[in-house]
């Protein structure tokens, strides 16, 4: 199937999940995850109306952002080393993968050279998986408190990559937990912090994520096909 047809199908599935959950479809935004895929595929998706694109690797992002001509909005969703933050400065609308204070500090430092603070999400490691990035749920409040004091960042919500389960229903409790954590944080009245965004759900579980409150679903394979690496 073409990228345009895939996108159309995904939007139908997003709309159906919103109907089931009694949500406005406009409250869910589709982030097309284009890692490892060529700029031409991004252009093709953009021609089909896709606006938000997520990338995982700084070097790959920079190379593609230079050549993509379509007016798109870039998000960064991958593991991020502090020494590479400077290459993202001013180029990405949202960084989903902020998992530690030192990274937030560097983002703040870089974005203070610009007029507006960086929009970031705090990444939570819900399954306490050693192989995955993210603050554990217990450390989240402390991280949020520290990050909220930084002048160059604005916390817009939370992001999670829950453990993979063959049956997406098994992931539902993790999505629900992320929403609960966001509600708890929102109640603390921290400065520069709002819980407007929940970035959760990927190709095989985004409908469950939407039913549990996702505002940004990160979908790669279902749009662009399988990745080679
Ligand atoms: C690759 C990736 C996705 C997309 O995964 P698919 O299963 O291809 O939809 C979403 N989020 C993150 C953080 C990723 O690295």
Nearest-CA residue for ligand 1 atom 6 is 220
Q: Give residue-wise pLDDT tens across range 101-138.
A: 999 999 999 999 999 999 999 999 998 777 778 888 88
Output the CA 219–ligand 1 centroid distance in Å.
Answer: 6
Confidence of residue 229 (pLDDT cuts 50, 70, 90): low
Burial environment of residue 115 by CB neighbours within 10 A (0 to 12, 13 to 18, 19 or more): exposed
Give mean pLDDT, residues 214-220: 98
- Strand 193-199 relative to strand 94-98, pairing: unpaired
Tell which CATH architecture fits domain 3-224. Alpha-Beta Barrel (3.20)
Rounding to the nearest 10 degrees, give the CA dihedral for residues 188, 189, 191, 197. Answer: 80
How many other CB atoms are there within 10 angstroms of residue 10's CB atom? Answer: 20
CA distance 198 to 121: 8
Q: Give residue-wise pLDDT tens across range 80-97.
A: 999 999 999 999 999 999
Reading the block at residue 120, the tokens are 């970031």
Confidence of residue 36 (pLDDT cuts 50, 70, 90): very high
pTM of this prediction exceeds 0.95: yes
Instruction: Report the percentage of the chain scoring pLDDT > 70.
Output: 100
Q: Give residue-wise pLDDT tens across range 150-181.
A: 999 999 999 999 999 999 999 999 999 999 99
- What pLDDT sits at residue 73? 98
DSSP 135: B
Rounding to the nearest 10 degrees, give the CA dihedral for residues 150, 153, 155, 159. Answer: -110
Q: Give the position, in ligand 1's atom list, of the atom nearest the Cα of 221.
A: 8
Q: Give the position, in ligand 1's atom list, of the atom nearest the Cα of 35.
A: 1
Mean pLDDT of the chain: 96
Burial environment of residue 69 by CB neighbours within 10 A (0 to 12, 13 to 18, 19 or more): exposed
CA distance 178 to 160: 7
Domain definitions of the chain by residue range: 3-224
Asked if residue 35 has its Cβ within 6 Å of ligand 1, the reply is: yes
Give mean pLDDT, residues 46-73: 98
Output the CA 202–ligand 1 centroid distance in Å.
Answer: 6
Residue 44 pLDDT greater than 70, yes or no: yes
Q: Give residue-wise pLDDT tens across range 180-211.
A: 999 999 999 999 999 999 999 999 999 999 99
Reading the block at residue 117, the tokens are 């603070």
CA distance 61 to 89: 12
């Amino acid at each position: 199937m073409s990228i345009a047809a895939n996108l159309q199908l995904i939007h139908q599935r997003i709309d159906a999940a919103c109907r089931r959950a009694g949500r406005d479809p406009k409250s869910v935004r589709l982030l097309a995850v284009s890692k490892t895929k060529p700029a031409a595929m991004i252009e093709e998706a953009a021609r089909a109306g896709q606006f938000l694109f997520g990338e995982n690797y700084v070097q790959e992002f920079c190379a593609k952002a230079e050549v993509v001509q379509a007016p798109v909005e870039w998000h960064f969703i991958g593991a991020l080393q502090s020494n590479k933050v400077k290459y993202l400065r001013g180029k990405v609308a949202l960084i989903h993968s902020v998992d530690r204070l030192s990274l937030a500090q560097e983002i703040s430092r870089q974005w203070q050279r610009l007029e507006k603070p960086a929009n970031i999400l705090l990444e939570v490691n819900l399954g306490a998986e050693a192989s995955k990035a993210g603050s554990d749920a217990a450390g989240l409040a402390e991280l949020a408190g520290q990050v909220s004091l930084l002048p160059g960042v604005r916390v817009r919500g939370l992001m999670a990559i829950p453990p993979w389960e063959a049956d997406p229903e098994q992931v539902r409790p993790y999505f629900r937990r992320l929403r609960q954590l966001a509600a708890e944080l929102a109640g603390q009245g921290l400065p520069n912090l709002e819980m407007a965004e929940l970035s959760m759900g990927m190709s095989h579980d985004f409908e469950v994520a939407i039913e549990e409150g996702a505002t940004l679903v990160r979908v790669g394979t279902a749009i662009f096909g399988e990745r080679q690496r």
